Each structure stands twice: as C-alpha cells, then as structure tokens.
Amino acid sequence: MEGKRSGDHPQGQRFGVEKVYDVLGIGFGPSNLAVAAAIVEEASEPDGALTSLFLERKPSYAWHPGMLIEGAQVQLSFLKDLVTLRNPQSRFSFLCYLKSKGRLDKFANLRNFYPTRIEFNDYYCWVAQQLSSQVRYGRQVESVTPAATEGGRVELLRVRARDGEGGAEEYLCRNLIVATGGVPALPRGVELPAIDGVFHSHQFLDRVKTLYPDPCGTYRFVVVGSGQSAAEIFQYLMTNYPEAQVTAALRRFAYKPADDSDFVNEIFFPQMVTFLYGLPETRRRSILREHNDTNYSAVDLDLIKAIYQALYERLIVDDRRVTVQPFLELREVRQAPSGVVAEFWSTAHERPELLEADGVVLATGYVREKRHPLLRELDPYLVPDGGSGYKVTRDYRLETRSGFAPQVFLQGFCEDTHGLSDTLLSILPVRSFEILQALLDNRARTEERASANLSLAGPA
C-alpha cells in the first residue's frame, strides 16, 4: 500500500522512501469527485500525470445518503453535472451515465431537467466507480502538518488518517484539496442530547426507518427548520405515516420559496465568481445577502404548494394532526417519561411552548468553519483575511507565507469571497478545472526553477 501505517518506519526516516502524491484530496463528495474526473481527463498523459489520491471517511460513495428521499429532485439542471460545463464531450457526463444504463431515451422522454437525488447519487456512484483507483474509502483524516523541510522551507504536507478499524495511516503530498462539506448545525445554544428520538436531518432516513418501523404508527413527530430539507422531511412524514401527528416548527412565519427565477439564477454562473471576487468586500456581502433566498431557508415552490394542498385535504375531513406552527425558536430538547420534549420560545406570544414527541428532527442546516479545523497546524503559514478566515486567491488557494511550498485549496469554504455557488453543485466542472490549472501551472513553474538552477550550477 502507498499510505504507510504509523510506526512502519522508524522516527526520522527520510521522506525519499515514501510515496509523495502531487495532489491529496480530503473528502470525496461531488467537489473532489469533479477534481478527480478533471485530473483523469486533463492531466493524465504518461509523463506529465499528476499523481492523486482522495481520502473519504464513508465506507463507499454516497451523496447525502440520509436525505435520499424518494421523489426528491436535485435543484439544478442535469447539465450541471460533474463535467459538462468543462467538457460537454466528457465520458463522465450525466448523459453518458444514462446511455451506459440504457435509459437515455426514457430520460429524454421525461422532458425534465431535474433528476431525482436518488438518480444523481447513482450517477455520482457510477463516476466514482470508474475513478476507484484514485480514492480510499473508510479513511477519516485527522490532521495535516508540515512535513519535509529544507533549510526551514516547508516542501510537503503530512496527512494523518484512521482507517475503518482505527489503524493510523500517513500520506505525504505536495498539494492538498480540502472538500469536506458542511458539519451539521444546531440552533444557537441547543445541544443534541444523546437520545435516540432526537437527530439531525443528515441521519433522517436511517433513523426514521429504524426507530419508527410501523407505517400505521400513531407517532408524534416534530420537524424543526424552515428550509428545503425541513419541508421535504415534513412532507415525507405526513405521507409515509398517515396516522402520525406531525408538527413543523418554523422560526419564521411560513415556508418561503427559493428564488430560482431566470435572471436571479444567473448568480450561479461561473463568471459571477470572478465578478464577485473582484468587488470590494462590503459590496460583495450586500449582494450575497440580497440573494440569500436562492439557497438558504428557502423551499422549492412546487413543494410548498404540494404541502399546502395536502394540509388542505386533511382539513376537509377535519384531520388536524398535521400542522405548521410559526414563530417558534428551539431552546432545548430533553428526554421525558413519555418520549422527548422540545422546548421552544414563541416569538409571537413571548412565552415558552412545549411540544411532546416521539421523534424530533433537527433540519437546521450545516456550518462551514472559516478556519478549517484540519488546517489548524498550518496556521502559522497561512495568511489571515483580517476577519475570522484565511485569505483565498481567485483559484481557491489559501495564501501562504514565504517558505511554504505546498498549495492548499478549499472547495465549499469560500462563499464569502467566491459567492453563493461555492457550497453548491453549480460550478463544479469549472472550479475543478481552475484548481487543476493552478496545480499544473505551479508544477511548470517549479520545474522551470529547477532546470534554471541546474543550468546555473553548470556541468559537474
């Protein structure tokens, strides 16, 4: 194996005996999958190939598996797959996937730009399968540290990971791409108690199927949140548990539609990244704020309509077990003799509101720390941005101090500087190509420098 187990080599052994990857990626979600595809297609000529490896903590490829709800659609055109914006002739396109699965004609006959998430996950798995030599699953990366140094100059990075059995592994690389996605977020001040009946939306399908196995059960569910995942979960519960009492607890007045209208949607165009990146910070922030409802705490309008219709039909038969309750801010969730109690603060009535439940689903989003925890030990080499993060170049590279050779790229952590597409799927093909280009340019510069040094040294 190429990554070595800690302790395989005695302390202080030279780096020359270990394999050094040109590129090491942490996480193998869609962002790094797009990079892996770009490397194979754009930088794999035998002599100039970039050696790459991606480490993923999941045991196999899966895209938000806890939310692969039947019928839920992706919220972007299938043309915005992993590759088409970079190369419409790529063998890793969604259309090639359909062709290879024998469904191209039937898909075309759907006359629909928005595949289900289940199908898009299957497409991602199909691409990942073809790139399997570039990835190692079941690897949880735990730290990144400066490795080889020459005269005080950092040349390489050492990445430490644990495998599925808890064994430690180490990898060396010249460049790093961090694409670890978001971390489940809870409302401010709320802690997730270690109770079975309380869980975040990323675990939804797993938990709901295990803990509430009876479709005719008279379970009591509370869904906290007002975004797309919350609305999908609310609809799932009322549809799949017709006898259940289901309460949607919203901090705001109502589910609000995501603005995906034609002009507004251009905010996700690749060229918007260059435009936004070039703006003064205050101007950029105000544009991002103005367009927040394209993604955050916003729900697909068709889903809102479907939920409203379903609630109305229940009213006709005087069934009031499913309700949407506005202006509720979650304060605490705790175990109670009869299940779980979710304590809210009603901002409308300015008083506490208690909801008893058998299951509380926290569809409360994700956070992405500006200073990535895995990069903590590189902090002395990274340039702060004057706020709570690091300076990032247009090509997603962290600015580093002199004497630090490795390039560290971020995917999904640059929304403040690169715009709203950063945490989404919209520009993956273009972003992966920009990162690849930066890697290749840097290698060319390094090689040029090395050959200039050789010629200066003259014949031996």
Ligand X SMILES: Cc1cc2nc3c(=O)[nH]c(=O)nc-3n(C[C@H](O)[C@H](O)[C@H](O)COP(=O)(O)OP(=O)(O)OC[C@H]3O[C@@H](n4cnc5c(N)ncnc54)[C@H](O)[C@@H]3O)c2cc1C
Tell me, letter by letter, the H, E, C secondary structure of the chain.
Answer: CCCEECCCCCCCCCHHHCCEEEEEEECCCHHHHHHHHHHHHHCCCCCCCCCEEEECCCCCCCCCHHHCCCCCECCCCCCCCCCCCCCCCCCCCHHHHHHHHCCHHHHHHHCCCCCEHHHHHHHHHHHHHHCHHHEECCCEEEEEEECCEECCEECCEEEEEECCCCCEEEEEEEEEEECCCCEECCCCCCCCCCCCCEEEHHHHHHHHHHHCCCCCCCCEEEEECCCHHHHHHHHHHHHHCCCCEEEEECCCCCCCECCCCHHHHHHHCHHHHHHHHCCCHHHHHHHHHHCHHHCCCCECHHHHHHHHHHHHHHHHCCCCCEEEECCEEEEEEEEECCEEEEEEEECCCCEEEEEEECEEEECCCEECCCCCHHHHHHHHHECECCCCCECECCCCEECECCCECCEEEECCCCHHHHCHHHHCCCCHHHHHHHHHHHHHHHHHHHHHHHHHHHHHHCCC
Q: If binding is defined by CB under 6 A, does position 414 make contact with ligand X?
A: no
Number of residues that bind ligand X (CB under 6 A): 30
Q: If binding is defined by CB under 6 A, does position 26 make contact with ligand X?
A: yes
Q: Which is nearer to ligand X, 95 or 118 (CB)?
A: 118
- Could you tell me the smallest distance in angstroms from the CB atom of residue 291 to ligand X? 14
- Could you tell me the smallest distance in angstroms from the CB atom of residue 103 to ligand X? 20
Sign of the torsion formed by the C-alpha atoms of 306, 98, 83 and 32: positive
Which of 181, 187, 257, 326 binds ligand X (CB under 6 A)? It is: 181
Span from 15-23, 40-48, 57-65, 286-294 in contact with ligand X (CB under 6 A) = 57-65
- Could you tell me the smallest distance in angstroms from the CB atom of residue 109 to ligand X? 22
Which of 4, 57, 91, 314 binds ligand X (CB under 6 A)? It is: 57
How many angstroms separate the Cα of 403 from the Cα of each of 237, 300, 321, 435?
56, 49, 64, 21
- Could you tell me the smallest distance in angstroms from the CB atom of residue 26 to ligand X? 5
- Could you tell me the smallest distance in angstroms from the CB atom of residue 157 to ligand X? 14
- Among positions 218-237, residues that touch ligand X (CB under 6 A) are 229
Q: What are phi and psi of 156, to 5 degrees?
A: -135, 165
Q: Which is nearer to ligand X, 30 or 389 (CB)?
A: 30
Which of 56, 300, 353, 358 binds ligand X (CB under 6 A)? It is: 56
Q: If binding is defined by CB under 6 A, does position 74 make contact with ligand X?
A: yes
In sequence order, the 6+-apart residues with CB closer than 8 A to the CB of 265 are: 294
Span from 36-44, 74-82, 249-257, 441-449 in contact with ligand X (CB under 6 A) = 74-82
Q: Which two tokens stand for residue 418?
A: 């690169």
- Could you tell me the smallest distance in angstroms from the CB atom of residue 282 to ligand X? 26
Residue 283 one-letter amino acid: R
Q: If binding is defined by CB under 6 A, does position 75 make contact with ligand X?
A: yes
Q: Which is nearer to ligand X, 15 or 366 (CB)?
A: 366
Q: Which is nearer to ligand X, 54 or 344 (CB)?
A: 54
- Could you tell me the smallest distance in angstroms from the CB atom of residue 337 to ligand X? 34
Q: Which is nearer to ligand X, 32 or 407 (CB)?
A: 32
Which of 76, 208, 258, 408 binds ligand X (CB under 6 A)? It is: 76
Torsion of CA 99, 104, 107, 108, to 10 degrees: 140
Q: Which is nearer to ligand X, 55 or 276 (CB)?
A: 55
Which of 245, 400, 411, 432 binds ligand X (CB under 6 A)? It is: 411
Span from 55-63, 87-95, 99-107, 335-343 in contact with ligand X (CB under 6 A) = 55-63
What mask of x and - would describe binding to ligand X in positions 133 to 172, judged by CB under 6 A?
------xxx-------------------------------
Which of 85, 157, 424, 436 binds ligand X (CB under 6 A)? It is: 424
Q: If binding is defined by CB under 6 A, does position 179 make contact with ligand X?
A: yes
- Among positions 191-220, residues that touch ligand X (CB under 6 A) are none
Which of 426, 427, 435, 436 binds ligand X (CB under 6 A)? It is: 426
Say how far apart CA 236 and CA 363 lie, in whole Å: 13
Which of 3, 27, 115, 359 binds ligand X (CB under 6 A)? It is: 27
Place of tokens 């709800």: 69
Q: Which is nearer to ligand X, 30 or 419 (CB)?
A: 30
Q: Which is nearer to ligand X, 60 or 347 (CB)?
A: 60
- Could you tell me the smallest distance in angstroms from the CB atom of residue 181 to ligand X? 2
Q: Residue numbers of the site for ligand X (CB under 6 A)?
A: 26-32, 55-58, 63-64, 67, 74-76, 139-141, 179-181, 229, 411-412, 423-426
